[in-house]
Amino acid sequence: MDFESSATRSDEPIPPVALGSVLVSLLDPSPGHEVEFHRWYERDHFYSGCMIGPWFFSGRRFVATRALKELRYPETTPVIDDIVKGSYLALYWILAGREQEAESWAVRQVRQLIAEDRMLVTRRPAQAGFYRHRWSVSRDPDGVPAELALEHPFAGTTLMMVDRAPGVSAEELDRWYRQEYLPATLPGSEAALCIALDPVPLPDDAPAYVPRPPGLDRRCLHLYFLDREPAECWKALFASHGERIASLGLGEVTYAAPFIPTIPGTDRYADELW
């Protein structure tokens, strides 16, 4: 076998493994089709829609049971038209410097899957979008790096979307999180890692069914990765976070939602969504 064939040879250096952007996808099954949806996504779409594509290097699925959905806030949010929507979360890591190529491929791939009738009709899109990696903060001096966050067996994750207050810059909000809030909050807590991301507007040729929420120019997304299930540390870490940043005049939490990992190869949690 010729491992140096022209089909594989390239003069371009192999890029370092660094997190560049994230694809975040929130979906629901139609009631009564929970297992069908879960198996379609796990056994086909997770791979055919993203993981076989160029420059996607890690991915993982999470789920919000009805008990976890009860912890979400605020009740009304510009991020999604109903706070209880989005039972399943999929996160995909894209290599730094290759974001545009991966994002363009993903849009083309979904259109092809639609043409091949491989987009399950019983799925209900809740939210999807690309987010650029801004920074990461670990709890521990030699903690799990952002690039390995989806490979490490974390017990759960929390999505925290924050809209900056008028007049508050992204740098100002970053400074508060990185210099004040996170150094005081993460040590000794169950939150091992916080990844900060900026939303990227969907390309014009993205499928029309994907919701396009307003206010992206002031929004940031923080992903917290947890050593314990979110319900066990929600009150201590997240329940009052919205009140805190509002009281400081920095902004408002527009979506706070906990998730736990799915268990590949099983239908676990499919009967606990509603």
For the full predicted model, state whether its pTM sits above 0.85. Answer: yes
Distance CA 65, CA 269 (A): 7
Give which of 253, 249, 250 is closest to 240, Cα–Cα. 253
Residue 228 has pLDDT above 60, yes or no: yes
pLDDT (0 to 100) of residue 260: 98
pLDDT (0 to 100) of residue 3: 43
Please list the helix, strand and coil fractions of the chain in percent, rounded to the nearest 5, in that order: 30, 30, 40
Confidence of residue 11 (pLDDT cuts 50, 70, 90): confident
pLDDT (0 to 100) of residue 216: 82
**What token pair was written down for 164?**
């900056």
**What token pair was written down for 148?**
């390995």
- SS (HEC) of 230-247: HHHHHHHHCCCHHHHHHH
Residue 206 has pLDDT above 70, yes or no: no
Give the range among 26-40, 168-182, 194-208 with minimum mean pLDDT.
Answer: 194-208
Confidence of residue 215 (pLDDT cuts 50, 70, 90): low
Distance CA 63, CA 12 (A): 39
Phi and psi at 262, nearest 5°, equal: -70, 165
Residue 255 has pLDDT above 50, yes or no: yes
Q: State mean pLDDT over 64-71.
A: 98
Phi and psi at 47, nearest 5°, equal: -90, -55
By CB atoms closer than 10 A (0-12, 13-18, 19+), residue 4 is exposed
Q: State mean pLDDT over 198-209.
A: 69
**CATH class of residue range 19-261:** alpha beta
Q: State mean pLDDT over 96-107.
A: 94
| Cα dihedral 30/33/39/41 (nearest 10) | -10
**What token pair was written down for 100?**
């545009």
Q: State mean pLDDT over 6-18.
A: 74
Could you report the per-residue pLDDT of 69-87, keeping only the tens digit for each?
Answer: 999 999 999 999 999 999 9
pLDDT, greater one: 4 or 20:
20
Query: Domain residues of the chain, as ranges?
Result: 19-261
Q: Quick count: other Cβ atoms within 10 Å of Cβ 182?
A: 20
Distance CA 201, CA 192 (A): 29
CB 167 within 8 A of CB 55: no
Could you report the per-residue pLDDT of 106-134, keeping only the tens digit for each?
Answer: 999 999 999 999 999 899 989 899 999 99
- Alpha carbon 76 to its chain's center: 20
Q: State mean pLDDT over 128-154.
A: 97
